A and B are shown apart, each in its own frame.
Chain A
Amino acid sequence: MPGFVGAGFRASEQGYLLPLACGGSLLLLLSCLSLQSLIWGRQLDGRGAWQQRQADDRFGAAAQSLALALNTSHHCLLALPSSDWPRGEAMPAGCAAPIDPAPLWLLPQPGGDVRLVSWTPPPQGSTFATTVAVGALTLAAAPTSGSVALQRRFRLLLAGEPPRVSGVQELDR
């Protein structure tokens, strides 16, 4: 069988260098790519951490702007839970003039709007003059298409008579 013998001769004549080079190259490339993907993962995590901190800054600013409004232009709503706030301009109990709480529901911030989810004032019996009472505030990022709405909870410290917001603290997530 001359053909078979010839083929066997050609196969044994081919050396080990080319398969070794191909195998080694493949291994090297694969290990390098896996390292690269690990580093890309870290880079993405880092960017995610920046975005999270930027969101924290936005929520903090929104909470302070709401606190400022509850101390000034919308002070008569401070003692009312947000569920009792009027829809549109009206005169809720405790207000001397008609007031529209609409600006408190959506708080535009550089980088993305924040909306008010709920405001719960401290219980009526709290003695603001001598102690600090705590109200609960929940804010959420205004929904954008396809994203999960982030939420943050804050404590607003109320003191004085009439009560005023005297501190804004973010609760642990």
Chain B
Amino acid sequence: MSLTEVIVASLVWSLTAVGVLQLWVASGRAHAEAQSDQQALQAIDADLLRLGARLQAQRAAQQPPSSDCGAATAALAQALAGQPLASLPGLSRQLDLAPTSLWVIYRFSQGERLQERRRWLVPEALGLCQSPAAGLQASAPSPASPDSP
């Protein structure tokens, strides 16, 4: 065993160690990100499930449905605003209220990465209200353009 061999072997080991360490750090970060992604998705799904149960209860309680879709939308928004969202760093929920529909927007940010989910709720299509002039509305909203927030 010569001194040259010892030096070359040490160099190989140190370079490998540095490379592996960097890969480990990147893997750890990616693993944490993947886990947070999953948790955020589960938290949003749980929130939407609670929302679905609330809609069902509201529909059952309002028979016949109210004729004021604006009020039904506002009531839905108010109920949703009071529904707690799982506390997860970077996860937020925003409600965007239109006259007769509601956007529920979930945002999840991790560092520079931002992911979004947008759920559109139309109380009339969900049976929570009935506009009185069904079928006769000349100025009904176009199905092709849900007002994007």
Contacts and interface: CB of A to CB of B under 8 A. Distances in A.
Nearest to A132: B127
DSSP majority for the B interface?
A: mixed
From A54, A65, A69, residue with most partner B Cβ within 10 Å: A65
B131 A72 contact: yes
B87 interface: no
A29 B37 contact: no
A107 B144 contact: yes
A108 B2 CA distance: 73
B93 interface: no
Interface of A: 13-18, 20-22, 24-25, 28-29, 32-33, 35-36, 39-40, 42-43, 45-47, 49-50, 53-54, 57, 60-61, 63-69, 71-76, 103-104, 106-111, 157, 159-160, 162, 164-168
B135 interface: yes
Interface residues of B, number: 55
B37 to A, nearest CB: 4
Contact of A53 (B34, B41, B146): B41
Interface in B122-149: 122, 124-127, 130-131, 134-138, 140-146, 148
Contact of A65 (B19, B131, B135, B144): B144
Contact of A25 (B1, B12, B120): B12
B74 interface: no
Interface of B: 1-2, 5-6, 8-10, 12-13, 15-16, 19-20, 23-24, 26-27, 30-31, 33-34, 37-38, 41, 44-45, 59, 65, 115-122, 124-127, 130-131, 134-138, 140-146, 148
B127 A167 contact: yes
Contacts of B136: 75
Contacts of A74: 143
Contact of B12 (A21, A35, A110, A167): A21
Contacts of A35: 27
Given A32-B24, A64-B120, A72-B141, 14 more contacts: A25-B12, A32-B27, A36-B27, A46-B41, A60-B119, A64-B121, A65-B125, A65-B144, A71-B135, A106-B144, A110-B118, A159-B127, A160-B130, A166-B127
Contact of B19 (A29, A157, A159, A160): A29
Given A20-B9, A33-B23, A71-B124, A108 B34 contact: no
Contacts of A42: 30-31, 34
Contact of B140 (A17, A72, A168): A72
A21 B7 CA distance: 11
A167 B52 CA distance: 12
B53 to A, nearest CB: 14
Contact of A32 (B8, B12, B20, B131): B20
Given A17-B9, A53-B41, A68-B143, A61 B120 contact: yes
